[in-house]
Amino acid sequence: MKIQSPISNAGCGNSLLCVGAPESCDPSKPGSCFFVGIKRTAGQNFEFSLSGESEGYIGCTLSTDSSLGGGDITFICANKNGTVEFIGASLNNSALSRKDVNANSVKGHINGNTIQCTFKATVPDATARGSATSFALAVVNGTFSPGTGDLGAPEAKVQTKVLDIADIFSSISSILNSGRPTASATMVSSTTAATPSTTAARAPATTTTRSTAASTNATGPTDPPVLVFNGTVERLPSPISNAGCGNSLLCAGAPESCDPSKPGSCFFAGIKRTAGQNFEFSLSGESEGYIGCTLSTDSSLGGGDITFICANKDGTVEFIGASLNNSALSRKDVNANSVKGHINGNTIQCTFKATVPDATARGSATSFALAVVSGTFSPGTGDLGAPEAKVQTKVLDIADITSSISSILNSGRPTNQGLSEALLIIIVTMGLAFI
């Protein structure tokens, strides 16, 4: 069936998860442009919009890791003598082999070398690697023989890191590869400057095309030294605020209007990567005992998760490293220093620098669920009460300031069953970055 109107980037960031190249990509306008828009309909079912330039085919590949070629499902729209042929395939190394896929409602159009198609598809369950809908997304093209149906080796025009394709607010980092996709493709991340917002909506005119910076290799060519612990706490010179959220800081807070520089009950964490696994943290919250920041490699708190704690010890801040197992915190040495803190009534604020563990086994080296917790503290014995999560996110790349922050507020203590997802609040909304 023929597409009734050209694919466009309208709806990107509002109703569609989009990625394209170059950064100015609008597939409704003439010019060499590669684009995919994805919308979840239900469960593992999605609607895809695909556009690109090729004399042969364009395709959308979904990979459960950042290396294309391990049997990755690929949806292909090929130019068969001026009409679109839809093909399901599996990508192994640099070779595509035809494969049955669960897809239908295909519409397509060809104008010169521009191929456009839309379709509905059921994607595989990726739970083993993250959430059920966590994939690296790639737009590829290659040669196609209308006579034999042979598919040439694909060339990646757009590739992202692993992200939740069901989340239209997912941070998009495009990896442009000059050759064929391989397991050793060079990764180039892009970050987007954006202003903090307290609503979930994003304007498509500004959220789909602005890329302001790029850096190669997430951890840099050499890893910086691990920080040496120093628990000395200096006075915090000024209140923590949400200034810089979305521009220089990854931020999460509750309630959604949280500005920790203003009076009121508010829980907040701001994170900024300095180098490698080293980060600067800003933490604020209300407690008569302690507040803390927990990093978990999965969405369930309590599996030995590292926790940085700022406690009220007779009106001054005591900094404590701890490990969270189930609902119990036990003291643990952490690689942190440069601690500053201040207490005003029940408001505890602190900043510190810390080296976080390498989370590569679960995703990228800096992929964590982030939680702001609070609990009781005994200044005399140093005992830490069971933590209560005030903010918790899904697993995200804390090194990427454009990461989408979704806060799960739980009325009880965190357990290894994970927190209830009944209340979802978008704290900081960022733009989708195209390279």
How much is the average pLDDT of 44-60? 95
Asked whether residue 108 is domain-assigned, the answer is yes
- Structural domain boundaries, residue 290: 233-426
For residues 402 and 296, state if they share a domain: yes
Q: Which of 186, 212, 247 is the last residue of a domain?
A: 186
Asked whether residue 1 is domain-assigned, the answer is no
> What are the tens digits of pLDDT across the range 310-359?
999 999 999 999 999 989 999 999 999 999 999 999 999 999 999 999 88
Number of domains in the chain: 2
| Start-to-end C-alpha separation, the chain | 32
For residues 385 and 313, state if they share a domain: yes
Asked whether residue 421 is domain-assigned, the answer is yes
- Report the alpha-carbon angle 362-367-370, nearest 5: 120
> What are the tens digits of pLDDT across the range 161-181?
888 898 876 656 555 433 333
- Residue 172 is predicted with a pLDDT of 62
For residues 127 and 42, state if they share a domain: yes
- Residue 195 is predicted with a pLDDT of 29
The neighbouring-strand residues paired with 158 are 139
- Residue 315 is predicted with a pLDDT of 95
CATH number, residue 250: 2.60.40
Phi then psi dihedrals of residue 370, to 5 deg: -115, 130
For residues 180 and 239, state if they share a domain: no
Measured CA distances, 237 to 164, 249, 313, 341 (Å): 39, 19, 19, 9
For residues 358 and 421, state if they share a domain: yes
- Residue 12 is predicted with a pLDDT of 85
Asked whether residue 12 is domain-assigned, the answer is no
For residues 170 and 237, state if they share a domain: no
- Residue 418 is predicted with a pLDDT of 32
- Residue 223 is predicted with a pLDDT of 63
For residues 265 and 409, state if they share a domain: yes
- Residue 279 is predicted with a pLDDT of 95
For residues 317 and 415, state if they share a domain: yes
| CA separation for the pair 412, 417 (Å, rounded) | 12
Banded pLDDT at 410 (limits 50, 70, 90): very low
- Report the alpha-carbon angle 365-367-369, nearest 5: 150
- Residue 59 is predicted with a pLDDT of 97
> What are the tens digits of pLDDT across the range 76-125?
999 999 999 999 999 998 899 999 999 999 999 999 999 999 999 999 98
> What are the tens digits of pLDDT across the range 176-193?
433 333 322 222 222 223
| CA separation for the pair 47, 122 (Å, rounded) | 9
| CA separation for the pair 417, 299 (Å, rounded) | 9
What number of CA atoms fall less than 13 Å from residue 344's CA on the CB side?
Answer: 16
User: According to the 3-state scheme, what is the secondary structure of 146-201?
Assistant: CCCCCECCCEEEEEEEEEECCCCCCCCCCCCCCCCCCCCCCCEEEECCCCCCCCCC
- Residue 412 is predicted with a pLDDT of 35
For residues 144 and 270, state if they share a domain: no
Banded pLDDT at 368 (limits 50, 70, 90): very high
- pLDDT above 90 as % of the chain: 55
For residues 239 and 158, state if they share a domain: no
Asked whether residue 112 is domain-assigned, the answer is yes
Q: Which of 129, 160, 186 is the last residue of a domain?
A: 186
For residues 162 and 292, state if they share a domain: no
How much is the average pLDDT of 364-389? 94
- Report the alpha-carbon angle 285-290-292, nearest 5: 70
- Residue 351 is predicted with a pLDDT of 98
- Read off the tokens for 47: 């609607």
| 134-138, 172-176, 276-280, 282-286: least confident range | 172-176
Asked whether residue 166 is domain-assigned, the answer is yes
> What are the tens digits of pLDDT across the range 243-274?
888 888 899 999 877 999 998 889 999 999 98
Q: Which of 186, 220, 248 is the last residue of a domain?
A: 186
Asked whether residue 149 is domain-assigned, the answer is yes
Chain centroid to Cα 220, Å, comes to 19
- Residue 386 is predicted with a pLDDT of 96
For residues 237 and 149, state if they share a domain: no
Asked whether residue 403 is domain-assigned, the answer is yes
**Residue 212 or 230, more confident:** 230
